[in-house]
Amino acid sequence: MLAEDFGLEPTPALVVDEHDPINRIILKPITDEEYLIVGVAGLVLDQRKARSELLDPAICENAGHLIPDDGSLEIRVVVGQTARTLREKERNRVLLQDIGFIFKDWTIIARHTGASPEQMAAAGFRINMTWTVVAACLLVGALLLALRTTLRESRLSQMKSDFVSNVSHELRTPLSSIRVFGEYMSLGRVQDPEKVKEYGAYIESEGRRLTQLINNILDFSKIESAEKEYRLERTAVEEIVRATVASFEKPLDSERIMVSTHIDPRPIPAVMIDRDALVQVIFNLLDNAVKYSRCPARIDVTVEPRGQEIAISVRDNGIGIRRDDQKKVFEKFFRVGTGLVHDVKGSGLGLSIVDHIVHAHRGRVEIESEPGDGCTFTILIPIAPPGESQGSGERQAADSNLASDGAGEPA
């Protein structure tokens, strides 16, 4: 009636029944000339067939070029509330488009299966920050390494300068004394036999010091250039210790220094060692003990077997070594920083050479010391295997240059 009043031709609307989840019924009312419904026409649509044969191919044909090769974009059709639920859960990664009439409850969804833009931005920020932190750490590490190297080289340079100064002093002082006493004796100014004997003993003592200093410098040079070699022979250690201590005691008779030797009564097996090298080790340890002992000085030398090793210990009643400095005393040119460093003569090479010689013989050096309570150096040398024959004359090259940190003797 309204259509007639306005001069319009009414068109009955299509009606879609969506209650059947499999089939969809589409109805068209049929009217007569008076627009009265006289019948109904319609069809039943198979939803599954419509989707598989019409809708999905259409989506692939029209939207396939939009899908990246990595498959990070998903385009599909969802039904009912699924689209709305998905939109609420993944608001930033979902685009929805309703299909419209007949399939009003069907929605085409485009979903990004990867990270959201915010997540991608956050991930990119984390990656950039990680690389920035790594680069900063590497830069700081490089700066610290450069600073450490610079300080180390500066310290080593200062040690070398001190070494040159100490060696120059050690060479000049005894040479001057030897020249003066030798001149007195050659000019006949000393007639008293006791004085002659005293001067002779002093010259012998200073000559021994000079010889030992020169030997240390030459050995240090060979060690630095990896040219030092040792001639190993099966040797009785106790004989070398007795002879070395006896030769060392003579110049000390008038200096209130007592040196005692203690040889373990148990059988002491022989070891494979360079005899001259062992003499130098014991001599350097004794010389070190004399320098830093307090009067009346007492030095004890002990030889004893310890399992599969021979232990040679040299103990003094001197100033001792702090625990922090005990590992550093074997560094070349190192001298413990005490008030005696300028009063005690030394080149800073004695203990470094001891450490190198002992390690070249597959042994080790141990220190027991407390400040003010003396110090005990113990060298442990492995016992020679039974199959080694005496006089084998094996030559063993010095393994490597002294550690770059060097080694030295305490003061």
Tell me: do 232 and 101 sit in the same domain: no
Is residue 215 assigned to a domain?
no
| Angle value at C-alpha 407, between 321 and 381, nearest 5 degrees | 85
What is the identity of the amino acid at 11?
A: T
Among candidate residues 282, 289, 245, 409, the one with its CA nearest the CA of residue 358: 282
Is residue 119 assigned to a domain?
no
- pTM of this structure: 0.51
Residue 70 has pLDDT above 70, yes or no: no
CA–CA separation, 362 vs 396, rounded Å?
11
Which pLDDT does position 408 carry in this prediction? 40
CA–CA separation, 103 vs 97, rounded Å?
12
Residue 103 CB coordination number (10 Å): 20
Q: Which residues pair with 74 in a beta bridge?
A: 111
**CATH number (domain holding residue 340):** 3.30.565.10
What's the 3-state SS for 256-293? CEEEEEEECCCCCCCEEECHHHHHHHHHHHHHHHHHCE
Q: State the pairing for strand pair 257-263/106-112.
A: unpaired
Is residue 404 assigned to a domain?
no
Domain that holds residue 81: 2-112
Is residue 69 assigned to a domain?
yes
Which pLDDT does position 134 carry in this prediction? 95
Tell me: do 247 and 378 sit in the same domain: yes
| Domain termination site, one of 94, 112, 130 | 112
Considering only residues 198 and 262, tell me which one the structure prediction assigns the higher pLDDT.
262
Is residue 26 assigned to a domain?
yes
Considering only residues 375 and 9, tell me which one the structure prediction assigns the higher pLDDT.
375
Q: What tokens does 82 get? A: 């699924």
What's the 3-state SS for 103-155? CCCEEEEEEECCCCHHHHHHHHHHHHHHHHHHHHHHHHHHHHHHHHHHHHHHH
Q: What is the pLDDT confidence band of residue 407, given thresholds at 50, 70 and 90?
A: very low
Tell me: do 236 and 385 sit in the same domain: yes
CA–CA separation, 28 vs 14, rounded Å?
5
Q: Which of 180-194, 219-233, 315-329, 358-372 has the lowest mean pLDDT?
A: 219-233
| Angle value at C-alpha 212, between 208 and 216, nearest 5 degrees | 170
Backbone phi, then psi, for 230, in 5-degree steps? -125, 135
Is residue 240 assigned to a domain?
yes
Q: What tokens does 247 get? A: 């030769």
| Domain termination site, one of 66, 92, 112 | 112
Tell me: do 236 and 93 sit in the same domain: no
Residue 399 has pLDDT above 50, yes or no: no
What is the percent of the chain where pLDDT is above 90? 12
Q: What tokens does 111 get? A: 């979903």
Is residue 48 assigned to a domain?
yes
Q: What is the pLDDT confidence band of residue 244, given thresholds at 50, 70 and 90?
A: confident
Q: What is the pLDDT confidence band of residue 143, given thresholds at 50, 70 and 90?
A: very high
Q: State the pairing for strand pair 309-316/23-31.
A: unpaired
CA–CA separation, 248 vs 211, rounded Å?
13
Q: What is the pLDDT confidence band of residue 409, given thresholds at 50, 70 and 90?
A: very low
Is residue 335 assigned to a domain?
yes
Q: Which of 25-34, 127-136, 340-349 has the lowest mean pLDDT?
A: 340-349
Domain tally, the chain:
2
| Domain termination site, one of 112, 140, 164 | 112
CA–CA separation, 33 vs 137, rounded Å?
90
Instruction: Please say whether the beta carbons of 166 and 343 come within 8 A.
Output: no
